[in-house]
Amino acid sequence: MPIYTKLTAMGRYVPERVVDNDELATIMDTSDAWIQSHTGIKTRHFAMDQENTSDLATQVAQQLLTKGGLAAGAIDLIIVTTITPDALTPATACIVQANIGADNAFAFDMSAACAGFTFGLATADKFIRSGQYRNVMVISAEVNSKMMDFKDRTAAVFFGDGAGGALLQATPNIAENSLLAEKLQTRGNAEVIHSGRVQPITAVAASNYPQTDAFYQNGREVFQFATNVVPEQMKTLLKTANVLPSELQYVICHQANLRIIEKIAANLALPMTKFPHNVERFGNTSSAGVAMALAEVFDDLTGPTLLTAFGGGLAYGSVLIKK
């Protein structure tokens, strides 16, 4: 008997500390007017002190258990998508597993940069359709603030911290199937966006100690990629699924920059009312942005919705869903 994937619940979480544009302007050469005109961003939230990526993800995981009416022991798999993990090892997902007591699950991290939530959904769908796993969490969580060079206004003004996630469950009922179509792609490029580079040693010396590079992006190239290449993927997927853009209830894009979302809306000839966005309040939360925006409209979801995200890799993915 075929098994399908039902999207049962969504959750989101942001840290308490709010940083507005005026505060950033006190530590770098920028202004509220410049940031808003170029990005649409007004505020973002930063995790402070001991709050790390696993803590944000754990908050979402606990929400999903509550909303799904499940005990932690019922979870079979936890996927955390992140480019800002607590550490290279153990996986942030394993820390979340321990935090919620999901003793029967297995857990791993996925790194697809800002496209992580779409890649994570598509991956979870395959595990569920195998028939071996019934309850799966996909959580996208980022503490971008810890990877920023706050002297670099071309990157630091964009980013915030947050987490969003989905509870996916197996169903034999095709009418309950939530993941309708997908398209995942990458274009290998190590220069346009990169973060956390660790250089190999140059000599055997007692002074050797790992050092990590801050986040970097070529904003102009990212903008061109997001507004030219990504919409073509979206159109191709919709055509394959036999869905017209006008039939979509929502299009939820990576919350990178409000100006990018506006350009994509124009490319698809759709009004901005179909594009839920939270980038003004939360900034670019990397892989978490799409999940957080979907969580905000999930209760109102009645029609097909296209999720699209793009980021370092270059990775870009689109997933067509319904509730």
Same domain for 161 and 280: no
CA 263 to chain CA centroid, Å, is: 20
Which of 188, 187, 190 shows the shortest CA–CA distance to 230? 187
Structural domains counted in the chain: 2
Mean pLDDT, rounded, for 114-124: 98
In Å, how far from its chain's centre is CA 33? 27
* pLDDT value for 202: 93
Q: Answer whether residue 165 shows pLDDT above 90.
A: yes
Domain hosting 305: range is 179-321
Give the number of other Cβ atoms within 10 Å of residue 29's Cβ.
8
Helix axis angle for 53-68 and 92-100, nearest 10°, is: 50
CA–CA separation, 263 vs 154, rounded Å?
Answer: 20
Residue at a domain's end among 175, 194, 222: 175
pTM given for the model = 0.96
State residue 219 phi and psi, 5-degree precision: -55, -40
Active-site residues, by number, are 114, 254, 284
Mean pLDDT over 35-62 rounds to 97
Q: State the angle between helix axes of 32-39 and 258-267 in degrees (0 to 180), rounded to the nearest 10.
A: 20
Domain end marker among 153, 175, 197: 175
Do 118 and 196 lie in one domain? The reply is: no
Give yes or no: residues 232 and 201 share one domain: yes
- Residue 225: predicted pLDDT: 95
Give residue for tokens 């000839």.
Answer: 269
Q: How far apart are alpha carbons 313 and 192 in whole angstroms?
A: 8
At which residue do the structure tokens 């997908």 appear? 182
Give residue 24's pLDDT: 96
| d(C-alpha 278, C-alpha 317), whole Å | 19
Reported as a single tens digit per residue, the pLDDT across 70-118 is: 999 999 999 999 999 999 999 999 999 999 999 999 999 999 999 999 9
Residues 103 and 147 in one domain: yes
Same-domain status, 133 and 255: no
Cα–Cα distance between 97 and 94 in angstroms, integer? 5
Domain end, chosen from 175, 203, 223, is at 175
Indicate if the pLDDT at residue 153 is higher than 90. Answer: no
Rounded mean pLDDT of 221-230? 94
CATH number at residue 232: 3.40.47.10
Q: How many CB atoms lie within 10 A of CB 69?
A: 10
Neighbours of 214 (CB within 10 A): 17
- In terms of phi and psi (left: phi > 0; alpha: psi -120 to 50; beta: otherwise), the region of 300 is alpha
CA dist 256 and 318 (Å) reads 15
Q: Which residue blocks in 101-182 are alpha helix, DSSP H?
A: 116-129, 153-156
Q: Examine the domain organization and report whether 201 and 298 are in the same domain.
A: yes
With a pLDDT cut of 90, the percent of the chain lying above it is 98
> 222: part of which helix (H) or strand (E)?
helix 219-224
The predicted model gives 154-165 an average pLDDT of: 95
204-218: per-residue pLDDT in tens?
999 999 999 999 999
Tell whether 86 and 26 lie within a shared domain.
yes
**301 and 186 belong to one structural domain:** yes
Q: So what's the pLDDT on residue 1? A: 83
Is pLDDT of 154 > 90? no
- Specify whether 134 is located in the same domain as 12: yes
**Does 143 share its domain with 119?**
yes
pLDDT at residue 241, rounded to an integer: 97
| Paired tokens of 30 | 């920028």
Give the helix/strand (H/E) hosting 57. Answer: helix 53-68
Same domain, 168 and 39: yes
User: Is residue 73 located within the same domain as residue 170?
Assistant: yes
